Structure 1
Amino acid sequence: MYGLKTEASFDSAHFLTDYYGKCENLHGHRWRAVVHLAVDDLQAEGTMKGMVLDFGVFKRAVRELAEALDHTFLVEEGSLAPATLAALEAEGFSLFIVPFRTTAENLARYFGDCLVEQGLPVSQVEMYETPNNCAVYRPQ
């Protein structure tokens, strides 16, 4: 088994719907996504012969995902009133609306699924919400 690992960070705000504690309020994180790839065999031919994947390709894919979320307000679809969304957009806020609760677990899965769709052999994604706390997602 061979593997690669890279990471990217992004800053964004969120809140948790139907949560009764501090995290129900708008707050921000310096999220850190650590992505692992795994393959049984290295590529046998072409420019990536002897590699899992070119690090440049891997890093670019992970960083593009992070960049899309950087300095955005992560919003669970249906969690804010349409008038609230319209007011935020009118003020120029960058909203990233997702069809899931904006937990570290779901963000790890989002990263993993997006990268798998791009053909990357993702074995694990760790999404750090704080320097010491992360959620882990392992695609099937």
Structure 2
Amino acid sequence: MSQIRLTKKFSFETGHALYGHDGKCRNLHGHSYKLSVTVIGTPIDDSTNPKYGMVIDFSDLKKIVKEEIVDVFDHATVFNGNSPHDELANELIKRGHHVLLVDYQPTSEMMVIDFANKIQKHLPNHIKLHSLKLYETATSYAEWFASDNPS
């Protein structure tokens, strides 16, 4: 049977600051991120399976991405936890803000790598993550392709 690619789109609002950056992005700011998640697999050919004819139920893919990415990053402020921004982060946390300290510079490039790792861990064995596209703005995005990143 044919391999089919399915894509589901998500959106979330996230703030960040890039420690040591030589431009405006060193300042605390936010983005309306758009994330496209594409998986690849063969439609289920067992007519007794409730998911018959599907590669994956879109609602199952939505659950994975929502729990691992959207619910975690939406309306959070993300800082590189290995930078002096941890002081600002801790102050914001004390004041009740939703802050994420990650072990990387929170650029779109590094975030999309992190997202790929998180999503892949939760996909059923017969489905592979094909690609991710993370829009930081309407005209700027980072892409991740499985074919460029053999495990």
Partner of 2:136: 129
Partner of residue 63 from structure 1, selected from 46, 66, 90:
66
Change (3 A) 1:81 1:122: closer
Contact persistence 1:62–1:115 (CA under 8 A): yes
CA distance in 2, matches of 1:132, 1:59: 24
CA distance in 2, matches of 1:49, 1:35: 22
Quote how far apart the aligned CAs of 1:81 are.
5.3
CA distance in 1, matches of 2:144, 2:86: 32
Partner of 1:42: 43
SS in structure 1 of the partner of residue 104 of structure 2: coil
Change (3 A) 1:83 1:133: closer
Structure 1 vs Structure 2 CA RMSD: 1.5
The one-letter code of the counterpart of 2:21 is Y
Report sequence identity in percent.
25
Quote how far apart the aligned CAs of 1:82 are.
4.9
Quote how far apart the aligned CAs of 1:106 are.
1.3
The yes-or-no answer on 1:23 pairing with 2:29 is no
Partner of 1:6: 8
Partner of 1:78: 82
Contact persistence 1:7–1:62 (CA under 8 A): no
CA distance in 2, matches of 1:133, 1:82: 27
Partner of 1:95: 99
CA distance in 2, matches of 1:75, 1:49: 43
Contact persistence 2:44–2:51 (CA under 8 A): yes
CA distance in 1, matches of 2:34, 2:90: 29
> What is the TM-score of this pair, normalised by structure 1?
0.91
Partner of 1:138: 145
Change (3 A) 1:108 1:18: same
CA distance in 2, matches of 1:133, 1:81: 25
